[in-house]
Amino acid sequence: MQDFKKLPTVLTADELVDKVFRRAARAEGRTPKEKALNKLSTISNVSRDYFKKIITSHPSYENLPEFYREMVDVVVGIRNLKKALAALKWADGMIQRVISKGVREIKGGKNPSVVVRATYGRVASIIEQIDDELRFLNDAKNRMREIPLLLDIPTVVVAGYPNVGKSSLVSIISTVKPEVASYPFTTKKINVGFSDFGGRRVQIIDTPGLLDRPLSKRNRIERRAVLALKHLADVILFVIDPTETCGYALEKQLSLLGEIRTYFKRPTIEVYSKADMHSLGDRISYSAISGEGVERVVKEIEKKLEEVYSQTSTVIAPSGQTSTQEQHS
């Protein structure tokens, strides 16, 4: 599993320059030459250590489990991340060269104060050149914090059109308490909750609403839901709003259900939401307001998981990717 919440805050160019030079200002020495050399050494160490901390805090994105790799690409773009991290590595190398040149000049007899001023200017200029990359990395860190930390346990992914009642159901049957409001695309990110179904610890994932259109035309929010369905689901719980108060026709919702069944090939449970507003009986219906039918939904999840795990067991490879193996008695 990959916890992106551990990525550190990234300073802007101005903040980093201030940090480096403030530390250098504390350097002492018995002579002007020694003091100047200590200042340059401090700049070298502080900048090198800072760049190393930021660069090494990022994983090898090519070697991430498929879900995380694709999720990072959707959220911020792996190519952009690599480019920004490469810019930091470039700046680190350039600063070390500038520092080495300044040290040689001071040891060669040049005026220490003149060399230090010139070196400060060059170092500041190098850092300012990567300000965009520093800002991007900090923004990326904030956005990547939304990528959930997932466990190696049975997983139910809840899907459907926006505003059909997915989040309300998830908040009832699991520990997650997502923000719920009556407007489309309330769920902007993947929320993860947990529950015990039939004595089995289960991970329940609440996804952003999907629309019935080709994958290439889906926005970034929808693509997060697609990745959860593709890589994480042992069972899919598809929520349908037959009242159409979600703003989408029943026909379109059923078309999306058909697409999901065809594309993802996972055991799928179909349920109606808003049972207090209709009397349809061809699928399990529940009401998040009255609680009607919720127990039936839970029982159906337990049944489907039991069917899945009586035939297969989820195996997490060393890379973190999920596969299935037949159980042998």
Query: For the segment 273-303, what is each residue's pLDDT rounded down to a tens digit?
Result: 999 999 998 999 999 999 999 999 999 999 9
- Compute the distance between CA of residue 245 and CA of residue 231 in angstroms, rounded to an integer: 31
Could you tell me whether strands 312-316 and 322-326 are parallel, antiparallel, or unpaired per DSSP bridges?
Answer: antiparallel
Evaluate whether 12 touches 135 at the Cβ level (below 8 Å). yes
- 112-129 and 131-144 are packed helices; what angle lies between their axes, rounded to 10 degrees? 50
| Class (C level, CATH) for 155-326 | alpha beta
Confidence of residue 113 (pLDDT cuts 50, 70, 90): very high
What is the DSSP code (8-state) at residue 317? -
Confidence of residue 215 (pLDDT cuts 50, 70, 90): low
- Compute the distance between CA of residue 187 and CA of residue 173 in angstroms, rounded to an integer: 17
Confidence of residue 12 (pLDDT cuts 50, 70, 90): very high
Residue 217, pLDDT score? 65
- Compute the distance between CA of residue 129 and CA of residue 111 in angstroms, rounded to an integer: 28
243: tokens are 């009242």
End-to-end CA distance of the chain: 29
302: tokens are 């337990």
Other residues' Cβ atoms within 10 Å of the Cβ of residue 146 = 15
What is the DSSP code (8-state) at residue 208? P
- Compute the distance between CA of residue 277 and CA of residue 244 in angstroms, rounded to an integer: 10
Residue 327, pLDDT score? 35
- Compute the distance between CA of residue 188 and CA of residue 191 in angstroms, rounded to an integer: 9
Residue 152, pLDDT score? 81
Strand partners for 316: 322
Domain 4-144 has CATH 1.20.120.1190: yes
pLDDT at 87 over 50: yes
pLDDT at 85 over 50: yes
Geometric angle at alpha carbon 268, from 327 and 244, rounded to 5°: 165
Tell me, what amino acid is at 240? I
pLDDT at 136 over 50: yes
Q: What is the pLDDT of residues 23-80, one digit of tens each?
A: 999 999 999 999 999 999 999 999 999 999 999 999 999 888 888 888 888 888 999 9
Residue 214, pLDDT score? 53
What ranges do the domains of the chain cover?
4-144, 155-326
pTM listed for this prediction = 0.72
DSSP string covering 253-290, please? Answer: HHHHHHHHHHHH---EEEEE--GGG----SSEE--TTT
Residue 182, pLDDT score? 34
Enumerate the H helices of the chain as residue ranges: 13-25, 32-57, 66-75, 78-107, 112-129, 131-144, 166-173, 220-231, 250-264, 294-311
Confidence of residue 223 (pLDDT cuts 50, 70, 90): low
What is the DSSP code (8-state) at residue 323? E
Which residues 6+ apart lie within 8 Å of 55 measured at CB? 85, 88, 89
Question: To the nearest whole number, what is the mean pLDDT of the chain?
Answer: 85
**Chain CA centroid to CA 191, Å:** 11
pLDDT at 310 over 90: no
Residue 151, pLDDT score? 82
Residue 46, pLDDT score? 97
Q: What is the pLDDT of residues 144-193, one digit of tens each?
A: 887 877 788 888 989 888 889 888 898 898 876 544 433 333 345 677 88
